């Protein structure tokens, strides 16, 4: 069966000043694809997502669309708690997208039903839970039915129930023909989406050649802690499948696959790292 390429990046690079953020990245998104990006903070994942979405220019290379009116929906990693209802916010976003009034009203109602979010006329987003905000974030990205849906850490901070609801929604979206490109920190969640995985390391993209059925079927560990930058760089070089992200307070959250668990902890503790919490996770 011939693949229908919706969007192609050819040897794309991105610089900010003298700093190389992405180098010679090539990626093709076909109709019906689900592609997961993994990598550490600062690896270039968010920059790549914004380039795919057309939000920032490239420094070199090519970004090729199948057609000029290709619809790309984009969700940032967080949505602010605005002083408006979800309906008011989506109405504003729909007008920006040029959707006629009656069509927009019906679409907003349809999206609330799809994501099982009550269409309240009084409840402001300032009082929304993290899960409700993520649903609204997805709704704004889908106000026009997207050909490609681009998601930046869609599961970040969600509890188990909200994560399950979001996974179910994304599977339905994919089944309807929308292609998905998502940066996902959690390796087991990545496996739940029946996807192919790419790693971003030092601004370059690499295909994950691990067998999906084995790579994502076991438990992994989430560890919160702190360590100096020199040790963090060493750990990153020794354990390429361990990912980490930084909280606002400077603490780190590591995702550690079972195969790396013992060696990683020994090295982390030996080098003076401090552990705040350690949790074994299993979603299957």
Domains detected in the chain: 5-207 (3.40.50.300), 218-281 (3.30.70.1150)
Q: What percent of the chain has pLDDT over 90?
A: 61
Instruction: Concatenate the DSSP letters of all residues of 251-272 into one string.
Output: -EEEEEEGGGHHHHHHHHHHTT
Residue 217 has pLDDT above 80, yes or no: no
Instruction: Identify the DSSP state of 127.
Output: G
Distances (CA, A) of 18 to 14, 39, 43, 194: 10, 22, 16, 38
pLDDT per residue as tens digits for the range 125-165: 999 998 999 999 999 999 999 999 999 998 887 888 888 88
Please state the rounded mean pLDDT for residues 217-225. 81
Mean pLDDT across the chain, nearest whole number?
89
Burial of 126 per CB tally in 10 Å (0-12, 13-18, 19+): exposed
What's the predicted TM-score (pTM) here?
0.80
Q: What percent of the chain has pLDDT over 70?
A: 95
pLDDT per residue as tens digits for the range 106-132: 999 999 999 999 999 999 999 999 899
Q: What is the distance between the alpha carbons of residues 139 and 145, in angstroms, rounded to a whole number?
A: 10
Residue 187 has pLDDT above 80, yes or no: no
- With contact defined as beta carbons under 8 Å apart, do 275 and 248 qualify? no
pLDDT of amino acid 165: 86
Return the half-sphere exposure (C-beta side, CA atoms, 13 A cut-off) of residue 160: 4
Q: Both tokens of residue 135? A: 């649903």
Range ranked top by mean pLDDT from 10-24, 228-242, 245-259 = 10-24
pLDDT of amino acid 1: 44
Listed as own residue / partner, the contacts of 13-20 with beta carbons closer than 8 Å and 24 or more positions apart are: 13/58, 13/59, 13/60, 13/61, 14/44, 14/47, 14/51, 14/56, 14/58, 14/59, 15/59, 20/203
Q: Where are the alpha helices (DSSP H) in the chain?
A: 45-52, 86-96, 101-114, 130-141, 160-175, 187-192, 212-215, 229-238, 261-270
């Amino acid at each position: 069966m011939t693949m229908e390429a919706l969007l192609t990046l050819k040897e794309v690079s991105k610089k900010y000043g003298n700093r190389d953020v992405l180098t010679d990245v090539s990626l093709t998104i076909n109709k019906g694809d689900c592609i997961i990006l993994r990598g550490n903070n600062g690896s270039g994942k968010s920059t790549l997502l914004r380039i795919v979405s057309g939000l920032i220019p490239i420094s070199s290379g090519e970004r090729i669309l199948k057609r000029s009116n290709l619809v790309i929906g984009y969700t940032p990693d967080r949505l602010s708690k605005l002083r408006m209802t979800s309906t008011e916010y989506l109405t504003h976003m729909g007008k920006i997208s040029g959707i006629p009034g009656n069509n927009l009203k019906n679409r907003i109602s349809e999206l609330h039903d799809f994501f099982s979010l009550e269409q309240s006329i009084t409840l402001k987003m300032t009082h929304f839970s993290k899960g409700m905000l993520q649903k609204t974030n997805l709704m704004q990205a889908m106000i026009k039915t997207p050909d490609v849906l681009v998601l930046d850490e869609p599961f970040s901070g969600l509890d188990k129930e909200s994560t399950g609801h979001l996974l179910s929604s994304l599977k339905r979206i994919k089944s309807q023909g929308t292609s998905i490109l998502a940066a996902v920190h959690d390796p087991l969640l990545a496996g739940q989406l029946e996807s192919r995985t790419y790693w971003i390391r030092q601004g370059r993209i690499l295909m994950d050649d691990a067998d999906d059925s084995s790579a994502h079927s076991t438990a992994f560990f989430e560890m919160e802690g702190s360590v100096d930058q020199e040790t963090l760089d060493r750990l990153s070089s020794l354990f390429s499948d361990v990912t980490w992200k930084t909280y606002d307070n400077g603490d780190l959250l590591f995702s550690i696959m079972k195969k790396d668990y013992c060696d990683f902890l020994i090295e982390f503790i030996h080098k003076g790292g401090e552990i705040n919490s350690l949790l074994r996770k299993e979603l299957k």
